[in-house]
Amino acid sequence: MRKMKLNEMALAKAHAMAGGVFYVLCWLWSVMAPKTLAGVGVSWVHSLDLSSLPVRTPSMDTVVFGFVTWVVFAAVWGYFIAWTYNMSVKK
């Protein structure tokens, strides 16, 4: 039986692209409907009450910094997934 390996860089790039698209869509949602985004956020963090936090539109420098860090994290995560998968199929 042939063991299939994943290309770490390809999966890292795919995660980075998908993460970038997700980040932009989330940012657009925060600009167009911030209260509904906050409502979804409350449902995701279960017991944390976010209602006391102010709803605001993030500044462009915050958006750019968040985008870059999110894409880098997604790429590293994708690489890590492929690497750990490949390690597990070596045996």
- pLDDT tens, 50-70? 777 777 778 999 999 999 999
Mean pLDDT for the stretch of residues 5-19 = 97
CA distances to 17, 19, 27 from 78, in Å: 11, 10, 22
pLDDT at 1: 63
Show Cβ contacts of residue 50 under 8 Å, excluding neighbours closer than 6 positions: 38, 41, 42
Angle at CA 41, nearest 5°, toward 24 and 33?
A: 55
pLDDT at 90: 76
pTM for this predicted structure: 0.80
Please provide the average confidence, as pLDDT, over all residues in the chain: 89
Show Cβ contacts of residue 76 under 8 Å, excluding neighbours closer than 6 positions: 12
